[in-house]
Amino acid sequence: MVVVSFSSMPSTSSIFSTYASISAFIMLIQTILNQFIPRQVQNYILNIIYRYLKPKQNKSTIIIEESDGMSSNELFNAAETYLCTKIRPNIERLKISKRHKDAGVTIKFAQCERIADTFEDVNLEWRFTFEERKKPSKRINEDTNDIVVDSEKRYFELCFEKNCKEKVLDSYIPFMIERAKSIRAEKKAVKLHTLLSSNYGVGSVVWDSINLDHPSTFETLAMDAKKKKGIIDDLDRFVRRKDFYRKVGRAWKRGYLLYGPPGTGKSSLIAAMANYLKFDIYDLELTNVRRDSDLRKLLLRTANRSILVIEDIDCSVDLQDRRKVPSKTGKDGSVDGSGHFYHPRNQQFTLSGLLNFIDGLWSSCGDERIIIFTTNNKEKLDPALLRPGRMDMHIHMSYLTVEGFKLLTSTYLNITGHHRCFGEIEELIEGMKVSPAEVAEELMQSDDADTSLEGLVDFLKCKKSLIESNSLKGKGIDSEDLDGGEKVNVSDVGVVTR
């Protein structure tokens, strides 16, 4: 039992007396400090005391804002793409959108949210925040190159343990960027960009784009399997060698020359490459480019991870072999002795401008780019266009082979085994030059496999008879004069093709 004696407790008057004495002492100390110690010294002392008494913070925070000046912040875009895959079911408000050129729906945060993540045993917390700006700011939308006015400041906060800062900066942030790039690549709609006249000045041209819905893939391409594998391996090696190109001091680009007769699949190969890499295609029509300066501007407006295509380079412009000395004609589009060619209105575009565009100083204005030339007549091109470093791979697009024919029948007619017409067709294909486009067109004539293959036999026999007939008459026509799928009246041998 504990006995409490109330007589031993201090009286109320004693408590108030002690409190008054302490208060008076504190006021005396304050007065002395204010009279003899300057205010700046007092603040310094108080800051030291606060620094030692306040609880230690073990967290670090990284701020990732939406824009950096007028330019968008790549880290913000990557974080937004990456975190949209981490959205929890309990998030109540999201913002979604879809433009007519997009392949899928874009999801963004609509309000302040917190999202947890883990990386190599490091716990991380993301906070999406936005706040009203006192003064609207401007930035450039890099997708459209338009100026956007933002009335809100949007940013992410990334919080983590302070001792994990090195791992977050050196490993987690690069991981997030690469993961976001992969997510965008999976959802990306490949676009075809073409030149469009601009209203900003006479003769100015800008890029316009549509979705590339070309279904060509390497699986459906009627090409020699070994050659096809070589192209795929070269593309894979190119996209993973960023550090190598930087180490050896070369622009991260690759040049391909596709040459061969019409109808052999050059355009289909380009579409298959774009679909395989998820690279946009820029179709550059050189006849629309009047000056070297226009070419440079167009180059600067092409995006990274893209394929620049100049089709029929031997026909697009009169870039003659510089080993020959052409006559100076001025306005008819021919080349003078200095290597210029002339458009209407006496505007000039030079071969040297094109070469500088391919592998000169201006070629380093972008990364991960592929340049493709196509031609039906490789021998007509200036050797300067073809040397390594400009056109790294020369790919001959040949006539249809038996292997390519079987792939076409599998793709168009779903025939995976043997057919009674195959023997005769294969013999005809091996005996003359026929393009994949010609055969593909015949296979599309009917949904019935027998009808299509019988029609193909008639077409190949007709073509062979025409070649033999004209050879006997001394006209010198061979199968190369009949490629590209052109239909010819052969009534002189008693047959008319469709």
Tell me: pLDDT of 447 over 60. yes
Taking all residues of the chain, what is their mean pLDDT, rounded to a whole number?
A: 77
pLDDT in tens, 65-92: 887 776 778 888 898 888 888 877 667 6
Q: Which two tokens stand for residue 463?
A: 């073509």
Regarding whether 135 and 64 lie in a shared domain, the answer is yes
Identify the pLDDT of residue 229: 93
388 DSSP assignment:
T
pLDDT at 196: 80
d(CA 352, CA 392): 19
Asked if pLDDT for residue 289 goes beyond 70, the answer is: yes
End of a domain among 368, 396, 424?
396
Mean pLDDT of 256-265: 91
Least confident of 25-29, 229-233, 409-413, 480-484: 480-484
pLDDT band, residue 323 (cuts 50/70/90): very low
Across the range 409-419, mean pLDDT stands at 88
487 SS3 class:
coil
Q: Answer yes or no: is 102 within a domain.
A: yes
**CATH number for the domain that contains residue 305:** 3.40.50.300
pTM: 0.66
Judge if 113 and 232 occupy the same domain: no
pLDDT number for residue 185: 79
Band of pLDDT at residue 273, cut at 50, 70 and 90: very high
pLDDT band at 236 (very low <50, low <70, confident <90, very high): very high
DSSP-derived secondary structure for 127-188: EEEEEEEEEEEEEEETTTTEEEEEEEEEEEEEEEEGGGHHHIIIIIHHHHHHHHHHHHHHHP
220 shares its domain with 331: yes
Quickly state the pLDDT bin for 23 (edges 50, 70, 90).
confident
For 29-71, the pLDDT digits (tens) are: 777 767 777 766 766 676 676 666 655 568 889 998 887 776 7
- What's the sign of the alpha-carbon dihedral 221, 225, 229, 231? negative
pLDDT at 290 over 70: yes
Do 363 and 233 belong to one domain?
A: yes
Judged by average pLDDT, the poorest of 34-38, 119-123, 438-442 is: 34-38
| Shared-domain flag, residues 165 and 288 | no
Report the pLDDT value the prediction gives residue 113, as an integer from 0 to 100: 78
CB within 8 Å of 140: residues ≥ 6 apart: 70, 71, 72, 146, 147, 148
- pLDDT greater than 90 at residue 293: no
Phi first, then psi: give them for residue 169, nearest 5 degrees: -70, -40
Comparing 41-50, 156-165, 279-288, 411-420, the range with the smallest average pLDDT is 41-50
Q: Does 378 fall in a domain?
A: yes
Q: Are residues 275 and 224 in the same domain?
A: yes
In a domain, 81, yes or no: yes
| 97 phi and psi angles, rounded to 5 deg | -155, 160
Average pLDDT over residues 220-230: 90
Domain boundary among 168, 187, 206: 187
Judge whether 331 lies within some domain. Answer: yes
Same-domain status, 348 and 442:
no
Q: Which range has highest mean pLDDT (76-80, 321-325, 485-489)? A: 76-80
CA atoms within 13 A on the CB side of 317: 26
**How many domains does the structure of the chain reveal?**
3
How many CB atoms sit inside 10 A of residue 66's CB?
A: 20
Tell the burial category of 158 from Cβ atoms under 10 Å away from its Cβ (0-12, 13-18, 19+): buried
For residue 197, what pLDDT band results from cuts at 50, 70 and 90? low
Domain of residue 158 covers: 59-187
Strands 59-65 and 146-161: antiparallel
Residues 245 and 330 in one domain: yes
Domain boundary among 396, 414, 439: 396
What is the mean predicted confidence (pLDDT) over 145-158?
Answer: 73
For the segment 349-369, the average pLDDT, to the nearest whole number, is: 71
Assess whether 162 and 63 both reside in one domain: yes
